[in-house]
Amino acid sequence: MYDIAVIGAGINGCAIAYYLKQSGKKVALFDREAIGAGGSGAAGAFISPKFSKSGELKELMELAYPFALDFYSHHFPTCIKNAPLLHTAKDEEEARKLRDFKENTALGIAPAPLHVTQILTQDAQNSENVYILNGGVIDAKGVCHAMAEGIDFFKTEIDALAWRDGYYELGGIQAKEVVLAYGAYTPLVNEPYINLRGIWGHRIDIKTSARTEVTMHHHVSISKCTDGIMAIGATHDVHYHPQKNEEPYDIEAGRKELLKRANLTIELKDVEVLNDFTGLRCGSNDYMPLVGKIVESKNSSKELVYYPNLTMINGVGGYGFVLAPYIAKKLCEEIIQGKETDESIAPLRFYKRYLKRLPSKR
């Protein structure tokens, strides 16, 4: 019998499993593929804030960004490569957001050094930018495996949850509690108020004679060049869902698109594609994560009824490696200490909106 089973071994699942194990819980970790596979394995894993003037997500990211850098540097130093971050606007609307961001952020920003901007294309040099001194890139699969070290892992697809008089039965394993962290695949709890959307991601690692000592975000994300190798990735520009599309994803077309967009930022020379990483990430309708207890809608109205010993951590979109350490800590505090997560990230917020849309007789 396990204290807690975590379903989904991406960055969210591995982060909450890590915190729970550190709290003394006996944890089982499940995934249909492998630890750090799927959307997390395909991530560029860039530690980046939300570039906007205000809003709930921007405020959450301002807390999560420094927390994530400290978390990885302190607990998993071999899995982070520190590098400044240069974010360049791709159009005038984004340029306005960057100007607003610079006026309303507590993060450490500075003018971009000349030796950084002079390697950009002319269009990129002429665009608004933000230069953040303290940034980093995470070894996506490496940190997931490091977090899961010492935790029992089961490579199996869980297609149903069965609550049996004080514990869950799943895949032949028994657990007193369950945390759902499986991304945008078919839901194990089919609640009408929880709408998660799949966001297909594609990253390539390339060998090139081009050089950059910073991480860049423009039309795509480009990592610092280390030993002649850099990563190029995109989250929101390439959309595909493996459970809905009949045709397989076109890897070659995805590569060409990534390289085309990267060349809008920096001229790449002598390119050799070394590896492709693809996977489905998961976002929510209001772009905020979903963290905490799950309301059982068929048994709730004015009085809330929650699924027994069931929580979730999901919906982080392209910000998973920034948000996961922070929100996993919050969820661990809810599970261990009974400290409820803030409603801005709890599934409860969607349930309340759902109630307002129901007929008045409800």
Q: What is the pLDDT of residue 299?
A: 82
In the chain the first and final C-alpha atoms are separated, in Å, by: 40
H/E run at residue 64: helix 56-75
Question: Is the whole model's pTM more than 0.85, yes or no?
Answer: yes
Q: What is the pLDDT of residue 33?
A: 92
pLDDT at residue 338 tops 60:
yes
When pLDDT is averaged across residues 105-129 and rounded to a whole number, the result is 93
User: pLDDT, tens digit, for every residue of 310-320?
Assistant: 999 999 988 99
Q: What is the pLDDT of residue 237?
A: 53
Q: Find the range with the poorest average confidence among 200-204, 269-273, 354-358.
A: 354-358
User: pLDDT, tens digit, for every residue of 248-258?
Assistant: 999 999 999 99
Domain at 2-39+142-196+285-357, CATH class: alpha beta
When pLDDT is averaged across residues 324-329 and rounded to a whole number, the result is 98
Using a 10 angstrom Cβ sphere, with 0-12 exposed, 13-18 middle and 19 or more buried, the burial of residue 199 is: buried
User: pLDDT, tens digit, for every residue of 153-186?
Assistant: 999 999 999 999 899 999 889 999 999 999 888 7
Q: If we measure between CA atoms, which residue out of 104, 108, 114 comes closest to residue 132?
A: 108
Measured CA to CA, the distance from residue 184 to residue 195 in angstroms comes to 9
Residues shown for the chain:
362
Q: What is the pLDDT of residue 228?
A: 92
Q: Which residue has the tokens 């297609």?
A: 159
Measured CA to CA, the distance from residue 169 to residue 35 in angstroms comes to 21
Q: Are strands 221-222 and 215-217 parallel, antiparallel or unpaired?
A: antiparallel
Q: What is the pLDDT of residue 362?
A: 43
- Give helix then strand counts, H and E, for the chain: 10, 19
Evaluate the CA torsion angle 47, 94, 258, 185 in order and state its sign.
Answer: positive
Q: Residue ranges of the alpha helices (H) in 216-339?
A: 251-262, 320-337
Q: Per-domain residue ranges for the chain? A: 2-39+142-196+285-357, 80-136+198-279
Topology of the domain comprising 80-136+198-279: D-Amino Acid Oxidase; Chain A, domain 2 (3.30.9)
What the block records as the tokens of 26 is 């006996």
On the CB side of 86, how many CA atoms lie within 13 Å of its CA? 25
Report the percentage of the chain scoring pLDDT > 70: 98
Measured CA to CA, the distance from residue 42 to residue 7 in angstroms comes to 19
Measured CA to CA, the distance from residue 215 to residue 48 in angstroms comes to 10
Q: What is the pLDDT of residue 238?
A: 55
pLDDT at residue 361 tops 70:
no
What the block records as the tokens of 220 is 């795509």
Q: What is the mean pLDDT of the chain?
A: 92
Amino acid at 40: S
User: Which tops the pLDDT comparison, 46 or 143?
Assistant: 143
